[in-house]
Amino acid sequence: MAGVELSPAFWCGKRVLLTGHTGFKGSWLALKLSRWGAQVTGYALPPDATPCLSQIVEVDQVIDGRHGDLRDLSALQSVVNEVKPEIVLHLAAQALVRRGYDDPLGTYASNVMGTLNLLEAVRRVGGVRACVVVTTDKVYANQEWAWPYRENEALGGHDPYSSSKACCELLAQSFAASYFPPARHDQHGLAVATARAGNVLGGGDFAPDRLVPDILGAWDAGQPVVLRYPEAVRPWQHVLEPLTGYLQLAQGLYQHGPLYQDAWNFGPADADCCSVVELVAAMASIWPDAPGFSLQPAQLHEAGLLRLDSSKARQRLNWQPSWNLRQCLEQTLAWHLAWRQGADMQAFSLQQITDHWEAA
């Protein structure tokens, strides 16, 4: 299999439903798709915090953004029926581990039932060719072992957020097998896949209890950042890396159907997997007079060691990261400083998207 040659021309004019367009990943993906000429309809809850990336880069200027709740099947179905998408990219979720502990009912309702509602709306409308359900690297039953997780490893999840996303994996697999089996692809025409990405970094992430936003917020205030899990190892990567993978996967599903109907990891090279304290040190090396860090005892369980094996995506999709960790941190800091200085952040973000694409 030669892989998928990701093409802006392929996306030009495609009708795309993007859930979660008001979120961090969704905002970047909306900009990227709009730059390539896709007809994007977004569906998501309104932003619940300020500052918010989707507002800073004015996502609603470049796509048809709708506000709605995935838990409301009737409202969702109405939008899907109107848009009649060819491609669905499902990013909407309650995406924070610590919020999952605080609100398990809301987390499972949004992540599991919201995904079920989306798949049911897609089934009812017909005509969709490709659907990518985005989950997380935390879907694996983490054994804290030294080698990276492959897509055929056991699913699990210690905390509500992680287990809700593992449920999404099983749900998508079951739904596809029941209603869109590969053996009948010539009849239904839809291929469904799931995507599991590592920890993403990048400009415009203001979510609480995430490492880089915590670093930037603390250092902006001249304070050391407080670390709860300094030795935890994660697969860090710029947000544009997995987003490129999602688009390659969706294009592969559209063009080749069942050949790509599977689960896929999108993570960085092994050299870019490092501990929290190592990432802080790398950030400090490019931040003038960095105030450093302090330690706070952890109160909630989070995985200590987690890495992804993305060799399948590299070999079968021909996907690979364009920026290493150092470049990722430089791009993240550049965005943050430009935002603080009052730059046109839509233009700045679009330029970073172009730079990333040209580096591929």
Predicted local distance difference test score (pLDDT) of residue 111? 97
Q: Is the pLDDT of residue 291 over 70?
A: yes
Residue 37, pLDDT above cutoff 90 = yes
Report how far residue 243's alpha carbon sits from residue 141's, in angstroms, rounded to the nearest whole number.
24
Instruction: Cis check for the bond before 51: say yes or no (omega within 30 of 0).
Output: yes
CA gap 110, 130 in Å, rounded: 22
> pLDDT band at 98, cuts 50/70/90?
confident
Give the Cα separation of 241 and 320 in Å (integer).
8
CB–CB of 28/50 below 8 Å?
no
Average pLDDT over residues 148-153: 94
Residue with tokens 């899990």: 229
Are β-strands 64-67 and 15-19 bridged in parallel, bridged antiparallel, or unpaired?
unpaired
pLDDT at 27 over 70: yes
* pLDDT score recorded for residue 143: 83
Separation between Cα atoms, residue 254 and residue 234, nearest integer Å: 32
Confidence at 228, pLDDT banded by 50, 70, 90:
confident
Beta bridge partners of 235: 273
Cβ(152)–Cβ(204) below 8 Å = no
Looking at every residue in the chain, the average pLDDT score rounds to: 94
pTM: 0.95
Condensed to tens digits (0 to 9), the pLDDT of residues 47-83 reads 988 899 999 999 999 999 999 999 999 999 999 999 9
The DSSP line for 33-67 is HHHTT-EEEEEEPPP-SSS-HHHHTTGGGTSEEEE
Residue 357 confidence (pLDDT): 96
Q: Does residue 298 carry a pLDDT above 80? A: no
Instruction: Round to the nearest angstrom and report the end-to-end CA distance of the chain.
Output: 20
CA distances from 343 to 71, 77, 131, 174, 286 (A): 37, 38, 35, 46, 20
Instruction: Express each pLDDT in 158-197 by its tens digit.
Output: 899 999 999 999 999 999 999 999 999 999 999 999 999 9
Mean pLDDT of the 240-251 span = 98
Which ranges in the chain belong to alpha helices (H)?
8-11, 24-35, 53-56, 73-83, 97-102, 104-108, 114-125, 160-179, 185-188, 211-220, 240-256, 276-284, 311-312, 325-340, 345-359
Angle at alpha carbon of residue 336, lines to 278 and 51, rounded to 5°: 115
Q: Which of 90-104, 252-266, 293-307 has the highest mean pLDDT?
A: 252-266
Predicted local confidence at residue 326, as pLDDT: 95
Cα–Cα distance measured from residue 295 to residue 58, given in angstroms and rounded to the nearest whole number: 37
Query: How many alpha carbons lie under 13 Å from residue 251 in its C-beta half-sphere?
Result: 22
Residue carrying the six token digits 């407080």: 226
Residue 304 has pLDDT above 80, yes or no: no
Kind of pairing between the strands at 233-238 and 273-275: antiparallel
Task: Please report, as a single letter, which amino acid is at residue 192.
Answer: V
pLDDT digits (tens, 9 = 90+) for 229-245: 888 888 899 999 999 99
Amino acid at 206: F
For the chain, give the percent of residues with pLDDT over 90.
83
Distance, in Å, from the CA atom of 17 to the CA atom of 131, rounded to the nearest integer, reads: 9
| Whether the Cβ atoms of residue 203 and residue 337 lie closer than 8 Å to each other | no
Question: How confident is the model at residue 296, as a pLDDT?
Answer: 74
Does the structure show a pLDDT above 60 at 302? no
pLDDT for 303 beyond 60: no
* Pairing outcome for strands 191-197 and 130-134: parallel
Of 1, 10, 273, 306, which Cα lies nearest the Cα of 148? 306
Using the predicted structure, report yes or no on whether residue 97 has a pLDDT greater than 90: no
pLDDT tens digits for 106-128?
999 999 999 999 999 999 999 99
Query: Higher pLDDT residue, 318 or 301?
Result: 318
Pairing relation of β-strands 15-19 and 293-295? unpaired
The H or E element containing residue 237 is strand 233-238
